[in-house]
Amino acid sequence: MATHRALGKHDNGTLALEDDDFLPSPAALDLPRIERAVREILAAVGEDPDREGLRETPSRVARMYAELFAGLHQDPHEHLQKFFTQEYDEVVLVRDIAFNSMCEHHLLPFMGQAHIAYIPNGRVIGLSKLARVVEVVSKRPQVQERMTEEIANLLEEELGAKGVAVVVEAAHSCMTIRGVRKPGSVCVTSAMKGVFRSNVSSRSEVMTLIYGERRTI
């Protein structure tokens, strides 16, 4: 098997997109409505929304939500339309695609890395497009399990890949700052399609590629 790791890296070792112009489409969001809601929450928790330090908070939060939920107004399928035809039937793997998302149960961030592997069936996609798909799918109210499954389904549908493996590792702030308060815990989810689902040795091979020499779980 061959692996491809071609994208740039951030200083912390996570994958960087080729460009950072993932802009929200604020027109699709009702910013004044978010502002009113945030003001209402502040009042409801017993704060004074008009005190100096909080005066700009509702509009700041509204703009932040526009960014964090920008993926709601984008279609991840779009990023998978420009594939190229290539006879290559080994594993293509992109590891450590950094993302942050918002847990839909608490509206608190969860963040981590996605690892995506697939075996092409004549259709190969630009590696940065995989990072785009993760970006669009994560920038919306999410649960990690669904996000993992969505990414795998997208690749299977659009590329007709012979096999797709998606592993997502994330730390959930709803588990670390509230509730059970378990800092350092990481949630790992995986979705296996095609040959990675049906063939045990292919699956263990791809898991070894994903985790490599770095660690074992």
Which positions lie near Zn ion, rule CB under 5 A? 103, 105-106, 174
Catalytic residue, from 40, 78, 90, 105: name it.
105
Instruction: Determine whether 103 is an active site residue.
Output: yes
Instruction: Determine whether 172 is an active site residue.
Output: yes
Instruction: Determine whether 10 is an active site residue.
Output: no
Catalytic residue, from 103, 135, 149, 158: name it.
103
Q: Which is nearer to Zn ion, 68 or 119 (CB)?
A: 68
Task: Determine the residue type at 51.
Answer: R
Catalytic residue, from 74, 113, 142, 144: name it.
144
Q: Which is nearer to Zn ion, 3 or 176 (CB)?
A: 176
Report residue 108 as tokens: 């608190």
Catalytic residue, from 106, 156, 169, 205: name it.
106
* Smallest distance, Zn ion to C-beta of residue 106, A: 4
* Smallest distance, Zn ion to C-beta of residue 50, A: 31
Q: Which is nearer to Zn ion, 117 or 170 (CB)?
A: 170
Catalytic residue, from 78, 104, 145, 157: name it.
104
Strand partners, 84: 124
* Smallest distance, Zn ion to C-beta of residue 68, A: 14
- Tell me the residue number closest to Zn ion, measured at CB: 174
* Smallest distance, Zn ion to C-beta of residue 105, A: 4
Q: Which is nearer to Zn ion, 112 or 120 (CB)?
A: 112
Q: Give the Cα separation of 69 and 178 in Å (integer).
A: 23
Give the DSSP per-residue string, the chain: ------S-B-TTS-B--S-------GGGS-HHHHHHHHHHHHHHTT--TTSGGGTTHHHHHHHHHHHHTGGGGS-GGGGGS-EEE----S-EEEEEEEEEEEETTTTEEEEEEEEEEEE-SSEEE-HHHHHHHHHHHHSSEE-HHHHHHHHHHHHHHHH--SEEEEEEEEEEHHHHSSTT--TT--EEEEEEEEHHHH-HHHHHHHHHHHHTTT---
Instruction: Determine whether 174 is an active site residue.
Output: yes
| 85 close to 128: Cβ distance less than 8 angstroms | no
Q: Which is nearer to Zn ion, 39 or 172 (CB)?
A: 172
* Smallest distance, Zn ion to C-beta of residue 168, A: 15
Instruction: Determine whether 156 is an active site residue.
Output: no
Instruction: Determine whether 104 is an active site residue.
Output: yes
Q: Catalogue the active-site residues.
A: 103-106, 144, 172, 174
